[in-house]
Each structure stands twice: as structure tokens, then as C-alpha cells.
Amino acid sequence: KFVHNNNNNNNRLSTDQIRFSQALGREEEEDIWYDPLLVSSSADRRPVLAGNWKLNPSTFPEAVDLLKLLRGNFINHDRIENSNSEVVIFPPFPYLYTALDLLEGTGIKVGAQNVGLKSSGAFTGEVSASMIRSLGCDYAMLGHSERRVLYEETDDIINEKMKLCLDQPNLQVILCIGETLEEYENELLETVVTMQVKKGLKDITAEDVSERITIAYEPVW
């Protein structure tokens, strides 16, 4: 699940640490706390510490600065490989290649925030699962709440994208699920997330679920 740690004053960060947390996906706000996303995985796999950059930063030079900051903190590959977690960042599409280049040898994985619903063809503006995999991405994120709400992506659409990702060799998928505040207040949490999991994983093999899919619980409130 996504774990948000923002209630402990001991987690207050220095300026460099704040920029580091931003590089892992924490958006800037008046009070900034170390709040990466901790995603639980199956018992025989390492937990995934994932940072979603969303639509940030605004310019390429800013992205390079954040990537260099990450590289400086994780240049010792063993620091991640021998840890209990796998670290992944999800920059916007234009920064993926540079992220892969600058983070090579650090142990940090790079993933895409979304993939298109088709493999190829006349679909202007789309990016396919095969494109991100051939670029070198190890992960794809599907079903994020903002994709579900703002772009009206249904569980069926997410399921189709899931299958396209799993067609790519060794591409890992993070499936985001979670209820809205209204659903939570109406005690529909279990109903909503159960349906999202069932529909999102429809026709997916148990082997793929066990070895290539991480489910991230991300309540929308």
C-alpha cells in the first residue's frame, strides 16, 4: 500500500533532503515532509519504494538537476541491491531516456506513468508499452486515480493496458487501486477495491500476478 508519513516532526528535512524527496515524487508545498510512496508486494519479492513525478518538473534542466541529485545519493549500487526495497521513479515521458541514462549503475529503476491502449497505429499522442520497454523502462504504472478520474479510464481499459504491458518481456506493472472519500464514508472501501482488483486482473495468469504485478493501494482522499 501507499504509506504517507506526515505526522512526525522528526521527519522534517534539510533543503537537500527536501529536493531529494521531490525527486522521488513528493510535490512541493508549504510544509514538505519526506513522503515517498511505499508499495507492498508479494511475500517473496522486495517491497517497492516508488516516486511518481506526475507533471513535474516543468522544464528539462530541472529534471536533470533532480536526476543528478538522485544519482549522487545512490551511486553506490550495493546500497539499493542489498536493501529490503526496490526503488523506482516515474518521470514524465520526455524525461524517461535521460533518467535511464543518468541513473544507470545506481540500482534505481525507471518506469512510465501510463501506457497507451494500442500497440501501434494512427493514435496521435499515445505511447505504447513496447515503446517504453524498448527504451529500457522496467516498470509501468496503471490505474492511477488521476487517470481514472480526469481521463475516465475504466477498469476494463486498465485491464487491456495491463495485458499489453505483460506482453512485453520483463516489464513490471504497478496497478493502482483505491476508493474516493465519498465511497469511504459510505463504507464501500472493500467493495470498490475488490472490484478494481478483479477487473484489473481479469484473464491475467497467477504467475504474472505473483511475479510481475504490484498492487498499490492509493485512497483518493
Catalytic residues: 144, 218
Q: How far apart are CA 163 and CA 34, in angstroms?
A: 34
- Maximum alpha-carbon separation in the chain: 52
145 burial type by CB count under 10 A (0-12 exposed, 13-18 middle, 19+ buried): middle
90, 70 Cβ separation under 8 angstroms: no
Distance linking the first and last C-alpha atoms of the chain = 14
Q: Bridge-partner residues for 156, per DSSP?
A: none
Query: Which phi and psi (to 5°) does residue 61 adopt?
Result: -60, -35
Q: How far apart are CA 67 and CA 136, in angstroms?
A: 16
Find the Cα–Cα–Cα–Cα dihedral 6, 11, 13, 18, rounded to 10°.
-40
